[in-house]
Amino acid sequence: MTIHKSSLLSARNLSVSFGNKKFKNQQLIHALDGIDLDILKGEILGLVGESGCGKTTLGRTLLGQQRESNGDIWFNGSLVSNLEPKLARQARKDIQYVHQDPGAALDPWWNIHSTLHESLIISGVKSKDERQDRIDFMLKAVGLDPSLQKRYPHEFSGGQLRRIGIARTLIQKPSVVILDEPTSGLDLSVQATVLKLFLELKERFGLTYVFISHDLSVIKLLCTRVMVMYLGRIIEVAPSSHFADHHAHPYSKALWSAAPKLDPDAIMDGHLLKGDPPSASSLPVGCRFEPRCPIANSDCKVISPILKNINLEHLVACDFVKPNSMSVVSKFYIKEST
């Protein structure tokens, strides 16, 4: 599988397992299994799926916080996987992460200035004046008054903590930002403000986002492409504008059915899931969705489907989904080609 020419961050056959075979009776947990992806420069890639499907593990592995068990990762055309920790941090310094709970990611004993100041020291900014200028600039960029930097995390609201978390990430001047459920736990009005801020900052600093979320309405609004995960594998990829009306995998249909809608009758379409996902330590031999799939047959128990094109830029890992002639062009490619 070749790497896309516009890819900024790529992975091939990426796998992550937890556990140790050397210990008797210990089962391996297969968090990621054979992931192939290309994150294109300037796009917003949305990762969706149930809790435990591997979204956060994938984000942390791309960042370098989690060591891959197998496979390769490229960033800006250079191989950045299987490196010593010090070299890995240096190779991926332009990839940063916004945590799901920014309050928990901030030291309660440090004021905001100390937190941002320390991150700049670690990243090698030696001038004290430059560090202060960058702190003031970034706080303004995320919509906070620089005078607030002497306050402590408990003195801020949830929305303000999100902004501080974004400031701490962007002050490193990254090119790729991984956003892990960045709007969870926020009121709808605050969510809208934070999402608008993400888009403004993306344009201002030329960022590429990986947006991890369970909220399909947010993914549809914000993202260029949607990537659906199930039990450590990618099972569908499509432009977000196309995915809303043409999601094809049975699991994607179930996700879309379960998403909150204004019309109370809209979810009654026969695609609601039953049961729970299998254990990641004891996965089905064939299709991993087979135990819950309403259209599975005996072949699905032994054949593991691979991602295949059913349209331009639309890939699905299901042998029941057949290619068709509908042309699909994402907003990203339209923008890139003009």
* 3-state secondary structure string across 286-305: CCCCHHHCCCCCHHHHCCCC
Q: In what order do the strands lie in the sheet with 70-75?
A: 29-40, 7-18, 70-75, 78-79
Q: What is the dihedral of CA 291, 292, 297, 300, to 10 degrees?
A: -60
Rounded distance, CA 226 to CA 114, Å? 37
Global pTM reads 0.86
Q: Which of 24, 95, 26, 27 is nearest to 61 (CA)?
A: 95
Q: Check if the beta carbon of residue 210 is closer than 8 Å to that of residue 62.
A: yes
Q: Check if the beta carbon of residue 222 is closer than 8 Å to that of residue 215.
A: no
Location of structure tokens 């609201």: 157
Location of structure tokens 């947006």: 211
Q: Cβ atoms within 10 A of the Cβ of 229, count?
A: 23
Rounded distance, CA 191 to CA 278, Å? 33
- The whole-number pLDDT of residue 332 equals 32
Average confidence score pLDDT of the chain = 84
- Report helix, strand or coil for 330: coil
CATH superfamily assigned to domain 7-94+174-337: P-loop containing nucleotide triphosphate hydrolases (3.40.50.300)
Longest dimension (CA), the chain: 67
DSSP 306: -
Which tokens hold the place of 143? 């919509």
Q: Check if the beta carbon of residue 92 is closer than 8 Å to that of residue 123.
A: no
Which tokens hold the place of 196? 């608008």
**Chain segment 127-185, per-residue pLDDT in tens:** 889 999 999 999 999 999 999 999 999 999 888 998 998 999 999 899 999 999 888 87
- The whole-number pLDDT of residue 238 equals 93
What residue spans define the domains of the chain? 7-94+174-337
Which tokens hold the place of 327? 């042309």
Rounded distance, CA 172 to CA 85, Å? 19
Angle ∠(95,51,260) on CA atoms, nearest 5: 105
Phi, psi of 130 (to 5 degrees): -65, -40
Q: Which of 51, 69, 96, 50 is nearest to 11 (CA)?
A: 69
pLDDT band at 10 (very low <50, low <70, confident <90, very high): very high
Task: Give start and end residues of each alpha helix (H) in the chain.
Answer: 55-63, 85-91, 112-122, 128-141, 158-170, 188-205, 216-222, 240-246, 250-258, 331-337
Rounded distance, CA 96 to CA 47, Å? 16
pLDDT band at 209 (very low <50, low <70, confident <90, very high): very high
Mean pLDDT over residues 209-215, rounded?
A: 91
- CA R_g for the chain: 21
pLDDT band at 263 (very low <50, low <70, confident <90, very high): low
**Chain segment 264-292, per-residue pLDDT in tens:** 555 445 556 777 777 777 788 889 898 88
